[in-house]
Amino acid sequence: MVASPTDGGLSQRLFDALIADYPDHRPGTRPVHAVGIGAVGYFVPSDVAPRFTVAEHFQMERVNVTVRFSNGSGSPVESDAAIDVRGMATKFHLPSGDSTDLVMSSLPVFFSRNPQDFLDLAKAGEPKPVKPQPRWSRLTDMLLLREPRPPADPSSPNSGTAGVIAYANCHPFARPAIIAALTQPAPTSYARATYHAIHTFKFTDPDGNVRYCRFAWEPVAGVRPETRSGLPKDYLHTELRQRLMRGPARFVLRAVVGGQGDALDNPTKGWDTTRLRVVMGELVLTQLAPDAGAAVEPLSFNPTRVVPGFDISNDKVLVARGAAYAYSCRQRGGTGC
C-alpha cells in the first residue's frame, strides 16, 4: 500500500521541477535515476529481526527480491564515472503476491525538510551556462583558504551546480546532503557502496512496541570509491554483470534505532553513530534481471509501499515521495504503480 496520491497537485509540481533540471530528459523514463540496471536474488532475515518487527518479510526463511541500481541523474545519457548519487531500490516479493519496497541512495541525509524545500532546491538547480573559472579567481580561492574548484565539464556547457551551492549558502539544513552529493565519488561497483533509506520508518514488534528506525544496505564486499580515470561510461553496468557471473553480491540490512532527541521526521538531520544498530538480514543478488532488465526498468519502486509492522513515519518528504513516485510511474507508463 502506498501513500495517497490526493496531494493537491504537489506530485505534478515535484515531477515537473525535476524534469526542468534535466533538459535532455527522455519521456518514458524516470525523472531522476534514469539510468539503471536490474538484478534479482533473495533476502534472508536475521534471527533477531522478528524481535523488532512483525513485518512479513522479516518472518520468512527467505524472500525473493528484485533490485534496481541507478545513477542519480535524470539524464538518459549514461555516465557511470560522474560524481553523482547512486540508488538501490529493492522490491521484496511476498508470498501473497503483494510486495514491499526499500528505496535507498548513497546520500546519508536528504536535502529537504519538506516538499516546498525540495521545489525550491529543484528551481535553484535548473541548468545555466557555465563559464570556466578565471586564473585570478583560483588565486583568490587559494588566499581565502578555499578548496580548488573542480574543472568545468567541457561536454556540458550548462550546469545547475552554482545554483545549488547558492541555495546551500542560504539554507544550512541542506548543506550536509548537498556537499555529499557534489563530492561523492563514483564507486568501483554498485555492490561496493552503502545505501541509506534517509527517512525514518516505524517498526512494530510482537508486543506492539513501536521503534523509530533508519536503514542502510551495507556491502559485504566493503565500500570502495573509484579512483581510476578514463573508465568506460558504462563501467558500473559491466562490472556488475561480470561480478554476478563470478558469484553473488551480498548486502547486510542494518537498522538504526532512534534515540531521545533524534529527528524522526526531518531527513536532513543525521543520527549519532552511538545509536543501537541491528542486523536485520542479508541480501543475496545472484544474477542480472532477465531480458536485460526489460521488466525492471518500468517497474515502480516506492518508499511508502510498506506492510504492517513496517510503517512510514510523519516525515513530510517521505509522504510526498510516495505520491510523487506513483504519479511519476503513471506518467512514464510504468508497471505496478
Partner 1 sequence: MVTTQPSKWVQFLQSKLTQPGEWLLVQYWKHRAPVTTPTWVWKTAPGDNLQQCMNLVMPLADKTDVGRARAAKAVAANVDEIFTGLNNVGTVHFARFDLIGGNLCMFSVYDGDLENYLRDFISVFGSVFDALMELVEAPPPTPCGLHPEAFIDWIIAHDAFQITGDVPSLFPDEGNIANLPRDVVLLLEQHPNVQLGRYSGYPGKSAAQIRLATGIDW
- Contacts with partner 1 by CB under 8 A lie at 109, 141, 143-147, 165, 168-169, 172, 175-176, 178-179, 257-262, 270, 272-277
**Closer residue to partner 1 (CB): 62 or 275:** 275
- State in angstroms the smallest separation of the CB of 174 from partner 1: 9
| Residue 120 neighbours by CB distance under 10 Å | 17
**Closer residue to partner 1 (CB): 135 or 246:** 135
Amino acid letter for position 85: V
Tell me the three-class secondary structure of 13-49, residue by residue.
Answer: HHHHHHHHHCCCCCCCCCCCCCCEEEEEEEEEECCCH
Grid cell at residue 154 = 567541457
- State in angstroms the smallest separation of the CB of 143 from partner 1: 7
Residue 169 burial (C-beta neighbours within 10 Å; 0-12, 13-18, 19+): exposed
- State in angstroms the smallest separation of the CB of 214 from partner 1: 13
**Closer residue to partner 1 (CB): 160 or 293:** 160
Rounded Cα–Cα distance for residues 327 and 307 (Å): 21
- CA atoms lying within 13 Å on the CB side of residue 202: 15
H runs (alpha helix) in the chain = 10-21, 49-52, 115-124, 135-143, 161-170, 175-183, 235-246, 290-293, 316-331
**Closer residue to partner 1 (CB): 76 or 270:** 270
**Closer residue to partner 1 (CB): 5 or 270:** 270
- State in angstroms the smallest separation of the CB of 212 from partner 1: 11
Grid cell at residue 88 = 538501490
CA nearest to 321, candidates 23, 22, 32? 32
- State in angstroms the smallest separation of the CB of 71 from partner 1: 23
- State in angstroms the smallest separation of the CB of 297 from partner 1: 34
**Closer residue to partner 1 (CB): 132 or 172:** 172
